[in-house]
């Protein structure tokens, strides 16, 4: 049993549309694709972390996670860790909403080792402080971007430690460093499965392109690599 989950942020609805449309286009076996939508999770009582809106760069408000005392560049920044609770069984892939899928997604589930609690690309990503996306603060933390594309083994005993209470009370930086797992329980995906535009080796042919600094519809990111493919997918979805 496999499932795919994509983070949704209302400020990036076009990005979510591209992520979901491109994933569906490349499916060669039936795999359900669902959104991780913060408002729905709050209504269901699954997500109770307090959030405030604070002034950001260029007078743009930013969402602030009170527990972490840190900005949230997207609404699903910490909501992604609810995926094992939502999926309940099998392998569940979560992707940030600012991705473009370029291959059959069923391939990412092939040959996974059930002794691993999660699989992800184990980036060494240490961006310089500054502003990204639509005025969001660039933050740095251990294992940054490991959880931006991550496969949860929902039946793994260690993932039972990831309780609703833990998700709702721990700082996000602890969740993103996979604090409930031993290192040996974290499986590695090839870098092509989470290609960070502007950061991953450009010689790699990506299967999932991740516009981590900003999608091509945002000012300043119109000409980044794979922007034309992203816009073509947006037009195909909108047609």
DSSP per residue, 99-122: EEE-S-GGGGGTT--TT-SEEE--
Q: What value does the mean pLDDT take over residues 104-116?
A: 96
Tens digit of pLDDT for each residue in 91-108? 999 999 999 999 999 999
Residue the block writes with tokens 């999660």: 118
Tens digit of pLDDT for each residue in 125-170? 666 555 555 545 556 667 989 999 999 999 999 999 999 999 999 9
CA angle 11, 215, 46 (to 5 degrees): 45
> Dihedrals φ, ψ of 107, to 5°?
-65, -30
- For CA atoms 61, 67, 72, 77, the dihedral sign is negative
Q: What value does the mean pLDDT take over residues 13-23?
A: 98
Per the structure, the complete domain to which residue 163 belongs is given by: 2-238
Which H or E run includes 235?
Answer: helix 227-238
Q: Work out how many domains the chain is built from and give that number.
A: 1
Round the average pLDDT of the chain to a whole number and report it. Answer: 93
Which pLDDT score is estimated for 29?
A: 87
The CATH number of residue 176's host domain is 3.90.550.10
* 16/215 Cα distance (integer angstroms): 11
**Higher pLDDT residue, 140 or 11?**
11
Q: What pTM was computed for the model?
A: 0.92
Which pLDDT score is estimated for 214?
A: 95
Strand 208-210 versus strand 99-101 pairing type: antiparallel
Give the burial class of 76: count Cβ atoms within 10 A of its Cβ; 0-12 exposed, 13-18 middle, 19 or more buried.
Answer: buried
- Assigned token pair, 116: 């691993």
* 237/20 Cα distance (integer angstroms): 9
Tens digit of pLDDT for each residue in 60-72? 788 999 999 999 9
Which pLDDT score is estimated for 68?
A: 96
**Higher pLDDT residue, 83 or 73?**
83
């Amino acid at each position: 049993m496999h499932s795919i989950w994509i983070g949704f942020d209302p400020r990036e609805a076009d990005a979510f549309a591209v992520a979901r449309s491109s994933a569906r286009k490349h499916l060669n076996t039936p795999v359900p694709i669902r959104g991780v939508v913060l408002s729905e999770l709050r209504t269901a009582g699954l997500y109770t972390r307090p959030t405030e809106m604070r002034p950001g760069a260029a007078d743009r408000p930013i969402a602030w996670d009170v527990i972490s005392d840190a900005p949230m560049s997207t609404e699903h920044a910490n909501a992604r860790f609810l995926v094992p609770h939502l999926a309940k069984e099998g392998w569940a892939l979560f992707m940030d909403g600012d991705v473009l899928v370029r291959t059959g997604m069923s391939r990412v589930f092939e040959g996974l080792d059930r002794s691993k609690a999660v699989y992800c690309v184990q980036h060494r990503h240490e961006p310089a402080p500054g502003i990204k996306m639509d005025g969001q603060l660039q933050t740095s933390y251990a294992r940054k971007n490991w959880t931006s594309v991550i496969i949860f083994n929902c039946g793994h005993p260690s993932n039972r430690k990831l309780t609703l209470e833990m998700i709702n009370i721990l700082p996000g930086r602890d969740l993103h460093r996979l604090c409930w797992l031993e290192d040996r329980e974290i499986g590695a995906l090839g870098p092509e499965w989470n290609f960070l535009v502007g950061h991953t080796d450009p010689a790699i042919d990506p299967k999932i392109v991740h516009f981590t600094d900003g999608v091509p519809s945002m000012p300043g990111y119109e000409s980044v690599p794979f922007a034309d493919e992203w816009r073509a997918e947006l037009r195909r979805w909108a047609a």
